[in-house]
Amino acid sequence: MFKKFLAVASALLIAGGLAIVAVAAPASAHHTDLTASAACTTDGGWDVTWSVMNSENFEGKVTASNNAAVPVGTVLPANPNYYNADKTKSIPTTYVQHVTSNASVNLAITVTWFKSANNAPSNSQNLTFSSFPAGCGPKEATPVAPDIVKVTDCGTQGSVTAKTTEGVVYATAFDPKTGDYTVTATPASGYYFKGDADQVITFTGNVGVSYDCNVKPRPVAVVGQCVYTAHGTAADRTFSITFDNTASNKAVLFQVVGYPAYDTTVPAGKSVTVDLPNVAAAGATYQVTADGASFDLSANPCPPYVKPDPKQRGESTAVYDCTAHDATVTTTTYTTDYVFDTAKLEWVEQPEVKGAPVVTHRPLTPAEVSSECGVQVSTDPSASQCFITDPNTTLTSWIQVAIDPRVVYTITNAVTNVVTTPTAQYTQVDAGKYIVTAVAAAGYELQPTASRAWTFFVQDNSKCDPPTLAVVTPVVSSTPATCTTAGTYTIGAVTPGTITWTVNGAPAAAGTYKVTTAGDITLVATPTDPKNGLDPSWTNPKVLKFAAANIGCELETLAYTGSGSIGQLGLAGGMVFIGIGGLFIARRKWTESKVEAE
Asked if 61 and 119 sit in the same domain, the reply is yes
Average pLDDT along the chain: 84
Whether residues 404 and 339 share a domain: the answer is: no
Q: Check whether 507 has a pLDDT greater than 60.
A: yes
Same domain, residue pair 428 and 524: no
What CA–CA distance (Å, rounded) separates 127 from 107?
Answer: 5
Instruction: Count CA atoms within 13 Å of residue 417 on its CB side.
Output: 0
> b/e per residue, 557-569, with b = 16+ CB within 10 A?
eeeeeeeeeeeee
Evaluate if residue 283 carries a pLDDT over 60.
Answer: yes
| Domain contains 86 | yes
Contacts of 136 (CB under 8 A, 6+ apart): 40, 41, 44, 45, 46
Residue 339 and residue 286 share a domain: no
Specify the pLDDT at position 25. 42
**Distance of alpha carbon 543 from alpha carbon 523, whole angstroms:** 6
Q: How far is the C-alpha of 224 from the C-alpha of 86, rounded, in Å?
A: 118
556 compared with 392, residue with greater pLDDT: 392
Give the pLDDT of residue 95. 95
Q: Are residues 181 and 236 in the same domain?
A: no
Last residue of some domain: 63, 95, 129? 129
pLDDT at 16 over 80: no
The answer to whether residue 425 sits within a structural domain is yes
- pLDDT interval class at 552 (50, 70, 90): low
Written as one string, the DSSP assignment of 464-521 is -PPPPS-EE-EEEEEE---SSS-EEEEEEESSTTSEEEEETTEEE-SEEEEE-S-EEE
The mean pLDDT of 454-463, rounded to a whole number, is 92
Q: How many domains does the chain contain in total?
A: 6
Does residue 281 fall inside a structural domain? Answer: yes
Q: Which amino acid is at 8?
A: V
Identify whether residues 449 and 479 lie together within a single domain. Answer: no
Q: What percent of the chain has pLDDT above 70?
A: 86
Indicate if the pLDDT at residue 123 is higher than 70.
yes
pTM: 0.31
Q: Is the pLDDT of residue 489 over 80?
A: yes
Q: Quick one: 186 and 110 in the same domain?
A: no
In Å, the largest CA–CA distance within the chain is: 174
* CATH label of the domain that carries residue 436: 2.60.40
579: left (phi over 0), alpha (psi -120 to 50) or beta: alpha
In whole angstroms, give the CA distance from residue 593 to residue 474: 23
Q: Does a structural domain hold residue 108?
A: yes
Q: Is the peptide bond before 71 cis (omega within 30 degrees of 0)?
A: no
In a domain, 4, yes or no: no
Does 366 lie in the same domain as 355? yes
Gap between the terminal Cα atoms of the chain: 138
Classify residue 255: in a domain, yes or no. Answer: yes
Same domain, 317 and 286: no
pLDDT value for 596: 46
Domain final position from 90, 109, 129: 129
SS3 588: helix
Sheet holding 46-54, edge to edge: 32-40, 46-54, 93-99
d(CA 3, CA 9): 10
For residue 564, the model assigns a pLDDT of: 40
438 & 452 share domain:
yes
- Tell me which residue range forms the domain holding 69: 18-129
Given pLDDT bands bounded at 50, 70 and 90, which one contains residue 553? low
Ranking 323-327, 465-469, 594-598 by mean pLDDT, the lowest is: 594-598
Per-residue pLDDT, 468: 61
C-alpha 439/C-alpha 452 separation (Å) is 7
Does pLDDT of 536 surpass 90? no
| pLDDT > 90? residue 470 | no
Whether residue 383 is found in the same domain as residue 446:
yes
Q: Is residue 134 part of a domain?
A: no
Residue where a domain stops, chosen among 299, 319, 334: 299
CA atoms within 13 A on the CB side of 385: 6
The pLDDT-based confidence of 550 (bands split at 50, 70, 90) is: low
Do 289 and 351 have their domain in common? Answer: no
Across residues 71-75, what is the average pLDDT?
94
Q: Is residue 197 part of a domain?
A: yes
Query: Range with the lowest mean pLDDT among 18-32, 101-115, 283-297?
Result: 18-32
pLDDT beyond 50 at 569: no
Q: Give the C-alpha distances (Å, rounded to integers) separating 55 from 18, 119, 450, 504.
A: 20, 17, 147, 138
